[in-house]
Amino acid sequence: MHINSNRISRSVAVGAAAVLAVGLSACTAAESGDAGEGGIEPMSLTLGHAYAPDSLQHRAAEQLSELVSEKSDGAITIDVFPSAQLGSWEEMQEGLEIGSVDIVIESLGSLERYTDLAAIEGLPFLYEDADHFFEVWDGEMADDILSAVREDSGFLLIGDLYRGGRQLNATRQVDDLSDLAGLKLRVPNQQTYISTWQALGAAPTPMALNEVFSALEQGAIEGQENPIDVVRFSSFYEVAPYVAETNHLFGNFHFQLWGDTFESYPAEVQELIRDAADEVSADYRETSITEAEANKKFLEEQGVT
């Protein structure tokens, strides 16, 4: 990709400083039959996410399902629903609260409407690079943040599925800050994202991910920002053939659960699910890093610039 990434990143960082100054189930588990060989009562869980069936997120969901089944000798099953089949991520999170959904794959920032603490995920240019991000989120500070989010919002986040840096993807070339003026840009429905892009001169438009492709195709929006794998596996490159490598945010997905529900499970079930989530997280990070270059090469071959 031929992109003036350094120039736009420096320009955006200046604008981002203005934003930083302004403001920072009951388990749907159906129990039936006898306990499995390990003494675990049969349990059926539901996992939803908004991403495509061939996405890295879906692969993680399927891997979690397989590992949990394996570790429980088949007593615990997880049914996976991709592509927002269970609703938008906002609706799925509401499902966690009422017990109609058990697990959702989403970011910390998606909980911003429940707790201001989640806004940290959406603040731009907090990290110098991926290594700096790992230094923070592999340490005690991350544990403290997620514990505070659990206490403040009720949501429990386990695992850390590294997403990579977020990039700007548009229907026209964006080389510097002036090119952002008036750009109709899809953002998640999170106030930190909205405020950031408003401060940078764009016209942010909150929108569900599964609506983005058609909105780009029809001209309702002119761009979106996400990690490079989302540009590829959501096929956004077909209707928005320009990518500026801004790395304005680094972040993780997590397996989100309703804390009280999860903590009502037997201790061995909680440990089993946490262990499986940790295994998935390790594989996800490695895959996310190694596939990033392959995804860029794929996009270049499709004519993305």
- Does the structure show a pLDDT above 90 at 15? no
C-beta separation of 296 from 1 below 8 A: yes
What's the rounded Cα separation, in Å, for the pair 38 and 20? 51
Count other C-beta atoms under 10 Å from residue 189's C-beta. Answer: 16
Mean of pLDDT values over 271-281? 99
Distance spanning both ends of the chain, measured CA to CA: 5
**Domain 5-301 in CATH: superfamily?**
Bacterial extracellular solute-binding protein, family 7 (3.40.190.170)
What is the domain partition of the chain in residue ranges?
A: 5-301
303: three-class secondary structure by DSSP? coil
- Residue 38 pLDDT level (bands cut at 50, 70, 90): low
Q: How many CB atoms lie within 10 A of CB 178?
A: 10
At residue 250's C-alpha, the angle toward residues 57 and 185, to 5°, is 85
- Res 47: pLDDT: 99
Tell me what pLDDT residue 274 has: 99
> Rounded CA gap, 168 and 174, in Å?
8
pLDDT band at 10 (very low <50, low <70, confident <90, very high): very low
> 120: helix, coil or strand?
helix
Q: pLDDT of 83-130, one tens digit each?
A: 999 999 999 999 999 999 999 999 999 999 999 999 999 999 999 999
Reduced DSSP (H G I as helix, E B as strand, rest coil) percent helix, strand, coil of the chain, to 5: 50, 20, 30
Q: What is the mean pLDDT of residues 1-28?
A: 44
The larger pLDDT score, comparing residue 225 to residue 20, is at 225
pLDDT at residue 26 is higher than 90: no
Q: What integer is the mean pLDDT of 53-74?
A: 97
- Angle between helical axes of 140-153 and 130-137 (0-180°, round to 10): 60
In this structure, are residues 192 and 198 in contact, taking their beta carbons and an 8 Å threshold? no
Residue 268 pLDDT exceeds 90 = yes
For residue 150, what pLDDT band results from cuts at 50, 70 and 90? very high
Instruction: State the alpha helices, DSSP H only, in 223-266.
Output: 228-233, 259-262
Strands (E), the chain: 43-48, 76-81, 103-107, 155-170, 184-187, 203-206, 223-227, 242-244, 250-258
pLDDT at 24 over 90: no
- Give pTM, 2 decimals: 0.85
